[in-house]
Chain A
Amino acid sequence: MKILVCISNVPDTTTKVKFKEGDSLFDDSGVQWIINPWDELALTRAMELKEDAGNSVNEICVIHVGGASADATLRKALAIGADKAVRIDACPADAYHVAGQIAEYLKENPFDIILSGIESSDYNGSSVGAMIAEFMDYPGISSVTSVNLDDDDIQINRAIPGGKQVLKTEAPFVAVVQKGIATEPRIPSMRGIMMARKKPLEVKPAVELEVLTESIKFELPQEKGACKMIDSESAEQLVELLKNEAKVL
C-alpha cells in the first residue's frame, strides 16, 4: 500500500501577520515556515502505519504545490521519515487549483490512501482534501481522528458532533484528518536529516488550471477594548455585568 500525504507550507503559528502593497499581499519577510500542524500529524500517522508489520504499507510520499521556497519544509518531511517528496511547481492560487494539480499527479501515480489536514493554518480553506476526492471520484472521509489498517482492512474513526463513528472503506480514498490522528508530531532525528539529503525530491511542472478565487485584500481585526477587571471576591458583580452589560446570560 502507498500513502500520499498532502503538505501545506505555512507560517509558524506564533507569526505576527503583516501585509504589504496596500494590504493586498501577505508580507513574508522574516517569517519562519513550517509543515502545517495537521499535515505533520498526518505524516506521523502514516509513519506509524508503515512501521507496523501487520499491514503492507511500503511507501510514503509527501506532495506540495508551491515554489522552491517550500523545499526546506519538504526536506523536513523527508527527515521525519517520508520516502519521497514531490513538489508541483506552481504558485498555490486557491484550493481548487492546488487540489486540481495534486489530482493530475494522482492520475499518473496512483496511491491507496491520501491524507490531508483539515485545513491549512494560513488561508483556512479546509477544502483541498475533499476537492481531491471529487477530482478523482474517490470516497472522501472528513473529520478523521484515526486510520487503522488490519491486514489492509481499513477502519476509520470519525468525529461527529458529540460523538464518533467507526467506518470501513475501500482504497483508494481520501481522509481529511484532524486532532487525534496522532498524538505528538515526530521530530526529525540526526540520522533522519542525513538520510533526507539522499531521498528524492521531484519537481514536476504544473498543469494549466483555472483559478476561481483570488485574495484581493487583507485587514487586521479591530483591537479589543481594555479588559474590565473584577475583584476575585465579587462573583456577583461579574454575573451582573454578564447579564446587563454584555447581555450574554
Chain B
Amino acid sequence: MSVIAFAKNWNGKFKNSTFELVSYTKALANQLNTNMVVLSIGEVAEEELKLLGNYGADKVLTVSNPQLNTLTSRAYADIVAKAANSVEAEVIVLSDNNSGKAIAPRVSVKLKAGHVAAVQELPLSLDPFVVKKSVFSGKAFGHIQIKSDKKILTIAKNCFGLVANPCDVAIEEFALDIDTNLFKVKIIQEEEQKDKVILSDADIVVSAGRGMRSPENWTPVEELAEVLGAATACSRPVSDEGWRGHEEHVGQTGKVIAPNLYIAAGISGAIQHVAGISRSKCIVAINTDPEAPIFSVADYGIVGDVMDVLPRLTKALRNSKS
C-alpha cells in the first residue's frame, strides 16, 4: 500500500502549489502509516525533481518522455492510473488546478476510485474515509465519505501550506508504452503572458469593480498591484463590459481564488462575487458606501473614493519599502 501524488510541472518547473501538494500527501501518508510516491510526467531536470525532497518526497517516479511535455489529459490520466496501480496506491492526490480537474475524474473512472475535488484539509477520519470540501460555492462545507477502496482527491490551493521535511530523493524512471491514440487533440497555437503575475497562483490580488467607473481609470489598480507584486482581478460586470479580460473575472462564475491578501476596490461584495474570494486569508475593502456588503466579509475596510485611496496606499507601500 502507498499514497501517490501527481506533481505537475510548468515548462519543467514546479510551483509552490506542487510543494504544498507534496507536503499534504506526506502528512496523509503518515496518517495512514504508509509511504508516499511522487509522480512527475514530462521532462524535468534532476535538480528540480530533487526539490520535491524538501517536502518529504523520498521516491519520485518520472516519465520523462518529451511527447508528454504538454498536458494531454487522456494520456496523463492513463499514466497516473498505471503508476498508482504499480505502487498499489490507496489514495491518489492531485492539486485542484486546471490539470488536476482534467485528470482526476478520468483516473476516478479508470480505477473506480471515489473522487472528491477541492479538499480543504487532511481527512477528518480514515475509517470511514471522510474528507471536507467547500460546497454551494463557498457558502458551506460538506463532509464527504469515500466508500471505494481506492480514493482520489484534489486539494484546494493554500489549504495546507508548505511543510519542510528534507529527504534524500530516489528518482526512478517509470517505463511504460504510451498509446499514441490518446493524442487526438492537437495544439495549434499557444500564447502566454510572461510578464504578468498569474491570478490563480498569486499570493496577493488587487481586484476592482464597477466603482472604478470607467476602464480608463485602471492605472491606480495596476500601480498598486505592481508595488505589491500582485495579480489584478475584477468583478463580473467589469469583464462583461469588456473593461478587463475574462481571465480576470473572479467569483462564482469566474475564478475561485484563495490568496493571502485580497484587496477589493469599488466592489459591492455581491454574494456571487464573495463566493470566489471567501477563502482569502485577509480581505481589504475600499468603498464609498459604508453599508456595502463587502465590509461584512472584509478584515480591514476603508470608506473612501478608490481614486484617492488607491494612490495613497501605493505611496505608503513604496515608502515602507524604501
Contacts and interface: CB of A to CB of B under 8 A. Distances in A.
Contact of B105 (A14, A131, A166, A179): A131
Contact of A248 (B115, B194, B261, B296): B261
A163 B195 CA distance: 11
A208 interface: no
Contacts of B271: 13-14
Contacts of A216: 130, 143-145
A133 B320 CA distance: 52
A77 B143 CA distance: 32
A88 B106 CA distance: 22
Interface in A224-243: 224-225, 227-233, 235-236, 238-239, 241-243
Interface stretch (B36-44, B132-140, B168-176): B132-140
A232 B192 CA distance: 38
Given A19-B140, A134-B77, A165-B189, A37 B106 contact: no
Given A14-B271, A123-B135, A127-B104, 16 more contacts: A38-B253, A94-B114, A122-B136, A124-B135, A127-B101, A127-B117, A134-B110, A160-B192, A168-B188, A169-B185, A212-B108, A214-B147, A218-B143, A219-B143, A229-B301, A239-B320
A55 interface: no
B316 A213 contact: no
| Interface SS majority for chain B | mixed
B2 interface: no
Interface in B296-314: 296-305, 308-309, 312-313
Interface string B227-239: 0100000000001
Interface in B190-225: 190-194, 196, 198, 200-201, 204
Interface of A: 11, 13-17, 19, 26, 37-38, 94-96, 99, 118-119, 121-131, 133-135, 139-143, 145, 155, 159-170, 173, 176, 179-180, 183-184, 210-221, 224-225, 227-233, 235-236, 238-239, 241-243, 246, 248-249
Nearest to B305: A232
Q: Which 7 A-B pairs have the closest CB atoms?
A: A232-B304, A212-B114, A127-B105, A163-B192, A130-B105, A142-B102, A134-B109
Counting chain A CB atoms within 10 Å of each CB, which of B142, B308, B309 scores highest?
Answer: B142
A212 B112 contact: yes
A160 B185 contact: no
Nearest to B271: A14
26 contacts: A14-B271, A19-B140, A37-B253, A38-B253, A95-B115, A121-B136, A123-B142, A124-B117, A124-B135, A125-B115, A126-B101, A131-B105, A131-B108, A131-B109, A139-B184, A155-B188, A161-B97, A162-B192, A166-B187, A167-B186, A179-B253, A210-B148, A213-B116, A221-B140, A232-B305, A243-B320
Contacts of B275: 13
Contacts of A212: 108, 112-115, 146-148
A161 B137 contact: no
A207 B96 CA distance: 30
B73 A140 contact: yes
B24 interface: no
Contacts of B98: 142-143, 159-161
Contacts of A126: 101, 105, 117-118
A232 B320 contact: no
Counting chain A CB atoms within 10 Å of each CB, which of B135, B239, B240 scores highest?
Answer: B135
B105 A162 contact: no
B192 to A, nearest CB: 4
Nearest to B295: A227
